[in-house]
Amino acid sequence: MGDFNEIVHVDERQGTDYLPRSAEEFKSWIQNMDLVDLPLIDRKFTWFRGRSCSRIDRALVSMEWLEEFPETRIRGGPRGLSDHCPVILEYMKQRGGPRPFRSLDSWFTNEGFLSLVKEEWRGLGEIQFTDKLKALTIPLGNWHKAIFGDMDKKIMKFEEEIKKIDDLVSNGVYDGTMESRRKALVTYCERWYVRKEIHWKQMSRPRQAKEMDKNTRYFHNIALARRRNNRIDTLLINGRLVRNQARIKIAIKEYYNDLYHQDNSPMMAFRDGLLSRIEQEDSVNLEALPTAEEIREAMWDCESCKAPGYDG
């Protein structure tokens, strides 16, 4: 952390439309060192002198450090009499509210998953389909924690057992059961590596990844980046920059309540304008329920861990 006296993007210096050679070299150095330049969340520049302003104060972290502390961000403090704003590093786990239920591809690698779903589904009896799905999330969540909770610890445990056997062999201790036990441990360990890759690939949702791509660390870092980008740390409410998460949630809820309940809202105007232009036959077709064949076609067109888009 500190004053690196250099920018890495054009928009980090007021009035600049190109990167000087020194900035290009600094940017290449960051990439070659496998470092991550933490984004500044509450301001654009950190150094001011007259009309000049730049972002030359930053925090660079390694991938390993970011994996250990994923919920990290930096913000600028009050500048006071200095040319520079102090850069404050924060690590804060925030509650983002309830998350939508998601079926994980890694579950299907467990032999008992489908039988668990069938058993729980039958036990729910004759209730509505959507209520069944909602009720199913509780036992599946508990099962996930019990079976898939902390995959890294499970992998580490198998690796430690494999190392113990290797140490015994190195010290001249060997019998016929050791080799078979080691093969079994390696098989289990590989299985958990595959599950981890499948899990983080799904979490990262990389469009460029192909079916057989295997790079757990890359997928993991993409997923963490998505989580940071999707998080709302600050919000401008009535001209004031608000950081309190409870206040932000209330403001968002109130905004959409007002938006969808106003007769003159953009959504209502769009709806009324659209309905006044389409024919009766088109209106009936738009409101018709999809056929079983259309539903099947939409599902079969999806990738294994995707869902149909909002285009129908």
Q: Where are the domains of the chain?
A: 2-91, 105-230, 239-301
Averaged pLDDT score across all residues of the chain? 82
Of 95, 83, 23, the closest CA to residue 246 belongs to 95
Q: Report pLDDT for 24.
A: 94
Lowest-pLDDT choice from 68-77, 218-227, 249-258:
218-227
* 9-22 per-residue burial string, b: 16 or more CB within 10 A, e: under 16: eeebbeeeeebeee
Determine whether 200 is exposed, middle or buried from the number of CB atoms within 10 Å of its CB (0-12, 13-18, 19+).
buried
pLDDT at 7 over 90: yes
Cβ atoms of 83 and 47 within 8 Å: the answer is yes
Classify residue 172 as left (phi > 0), alpha (psi -120 to 50) or beta. left
Amino acid at 27: K
pLDDT (average), residues 43-64:
90
Residues 303 and 201: their CA atoms lie apart, in Å, by: 13
State mean pLDDT over 223-227.
Answer: 71
The reported pLDDT for the residue numbered 213 is 58
In the structure encoding, which two tokens stand for residue 75, read together? 């913000």
pLDDT above 70 covers a percentage of the chain that reads 84
Q: Looking at the predicted structure, is the pLDDT value of residue 48 above 80? A: yes
Write out pLDDT tens, residues 232-273.
777 888 888 777 778 888 888 888 888 777 655 565 556 656
Q: What is the CA radius of gyration of the chain?
A: 27
Using CA atoms in the order 33, 36, 42, 47, what is the torsion angle rounded to 10 degrees?
0
Confidence of residue 308 (pLDDT cuts 50, 70, 90): low
Provide the pLDDT for residue 258: 82
Q: How confident is the model at residue 285 (pLDDT cuts 50, 70, 90)?
A: confident
pLDDT in the model for residue 134: 87
pLDDT at 60: 93
Q: Which residue has the tokens 């589904």?
A: 121
Integer Cα distance of 87 and 40 in angstroms: 9
Q: d(Cα 25, Cα 21) in Å, to the nearest integer?
A: 6
Instruction: Give burial (CB, 10 Å; 0-12/13-18/19+) of 74.
Output: buried
- Give the model's confidence band at 210: pLDDT under 50 very low, under 70 low, under 90 confident, else very high: low
Range of weakest confidence among 125-139, 162-176, 201-215: 201-215
The DSSP code for 13 is: B
What's residue 116's pLDDT?
Answer: 92
- Which distant-in-sequence residues (6+ apart) come within 8 Å of 186 by Cβ? 162
CATH number for 2-91 (one of 3.60.10.10, 3.40.50.720, 1.20.210.10, 3.30.70.330): it is: 3.60.10.10
Q: Are strands 35-37 and 60-62 parallel, antiparallel or unpaired?
A: antiparallel
Give the DSSP per-residue string, 72-133. Answer: EEEEE---TTSSBPPEEEEE------PPPP---GGGGGSTTHHHHHHHHHHHT-S--HHHHH
Compute the average pLDDT of residues 221-228: 70
Q: Looking at the predicted structure, is the pLDDT value of residue 174 above 80?
A: no
pLDDT of res. 107: 92
Contact 7, 55 (CB under 8 A): yes
Block residue for tokens 């993991």? 220
| Alpha-carbon gap, residue 108 to 121, rounded angstroms | 17
- pLDDT at position 273, please? 61
